Amino acid sequence: MNGGQDIGGMDGFGPVQPEPNEPVFHSQWEKRAFALTLAAGVAGGWNIDMSRFARENRPPNEYLTMSYYQIWFAALEAMLKERALVSDDEIAVGQALKAPKPVSCILRADDVARVLYHGGPTERETKTKPAFKAGDRVRAKMMNPVTHTRLPRYVRGHLGTIDRVIGCHVFPDSNAAGAGENPQWLYTVRFDGGELWGADADPSVTVSVDAWEPYLLPA
């Protein structure tokens, strides 16, 4: 979606401000929000692409003014409510008021190390062949889905070069919409700064994105 998250090339945010000796978490609630998101994801059964969509699917003015973990937490609440796992009135009183729905799996302490170590690899077997090879010129499609996509606006419609054929990976546009993994060939596509930003751009800069085949057209 063309939401508040798609900010590559947007102006006005000011300088990057690194914090010296920054702690991993800035408050207790951030720690809990982080852990709850990971753990509830197991119980809730949503995939990472659904999580990302839930985060970016905030009104842009809220997305741009909320802190990182506030966005995570708002998305967590939304996904739990969507699946009727918790309700607003339960959150308001901080107590379960209705019986839990059965869930197929929950994350136990004993599982944590193993689950984290395994992660969620997205490469999938396929019998199809990639449409493009390294060195091919491609054009990023002009597309504007209102649902989840990982093709940022700043590259859409632009000409780039296939840097690398990565492999066949879960396709987020489908996966986030609950339409299945629908794995597609994934490429690193490199764009000249001038192509993206115009004749005045820094000639020493190139930018790449990782783009799935449905995002690309032969040039």
Partner 1 sequence: MAYDQHDHDRFELSETQLRVRALETVLTEKGYVDPAALDLLIETYETKVGPRNGARVVAKAWTDPPYRARLFKEATSAIAELGYAGRQGEHIVALENTPKRHNMVVCTLCSCYPWPVLGLPPVWYKSAPYRSRAVADPRGVLKDFGITLPKDTEIRVWDSTSEIRYLVVPMRPPGTEGWNEDKLAELVTRDSMIGAGLPKSPKDVK
Partner 2 sequence: MAHAHSHDHDFHHEQGSELSEMQLRTRAIETILLEKGYIEQAAIDELIETYEKKIGPRNGAQVVAKAWVDPKFRKWLFEDGTAAIGSLGFGGRSGNHLVALENTPSLHNMVVCTLCSCYPWAVLGLPPLWYKSAPYRSRAVADPRGVLKDFGIELPKDTEIRVWDSTAELRYMVVPMRPAGTEGWSEEKLAELVTRDSMIGTGFPKSPKDLK
| Ranges within 150-179 binding partner 1 (CB under 8 A) | 150-152, 154, 166-167, 169-170, 172
Which whole-number Å values give the CA distances from 121 to 5, 15, 95, 177, in the listed order?
24, 35, 35, 19
Burial class (CB in 10 A: 0-12, 13-18, 19+), 100: exposed
Q: Which residues contact 94 (CB under 8 A, 6 or more apart)?
A: none
123-152 residues near partner 1, rule: CB under 8 A? 123, 150-152
> Do residues 100 and 122 make contact, with C-beta atoms less than 8 angstroms apart?
no
60 binds, among partner 2, partner 1, none (CB under 5 to 8 A by kind): partner 2
> Do residues 149 and 172 make contact, with C-beta atoms less than 8 angstroms apart?
yes
Helix (H, G, I), strand (E, B) or coil at 163: strand
CB of 144 to partner 1, least distance (A): 15
Note the residues at the interface with partner 2 (CB under 8 A): 2, 60-61, 144
Max CA pair span of the chain? 62
Work out whether 27 is an interface residue with partner 1 (CB under 8 A).
Answer: yes
> Do residues 188 and 166 make contact, with C-beta atoms less than 8 angstroms apart?
yes
E strand spans, 18-151: 137-140
219 binds, among partner 1, partner 2, none (CB under 5 to 8 A by kind): none
130 binds, among partner 1, partner 2, none (CB under 5 to 8 A by kind): none
154 binds, among partner 2, partner 1, none (CB under 5 to 8 A by kind): partner 1
Q: How many Cβ atoms are within 10 Å of 42's Cβ, its own excluded?
A: 16
Give 62 or 82: the residue with its C-beta nearer to partner 2.
62
Which whole-number Å values give the CA distances from 8 to 105, 151, 153, 196, 213, in the listed order?
37, 11, 8, 11, 21
Give 128 or 144: the residue with its C-beta nearer to partner 2.
144
Q: Which of 139, 182, 195, 208 binds partner 1 (CB under 8 A)?
A: 208
55 binds, among partner 2, partner 1, none (CB under 5 to 8 A by kind): partner 1
Give 126 or 144: the residue with its C-beta nearer to partner 2.
144
CB of 56 to partner 1, least distance (A): 7
User: Which of 74-82, 124-132, 139-147 is the region at the interface with partner 1 (rule: CB under 8 A)?
Assistant: 74-82
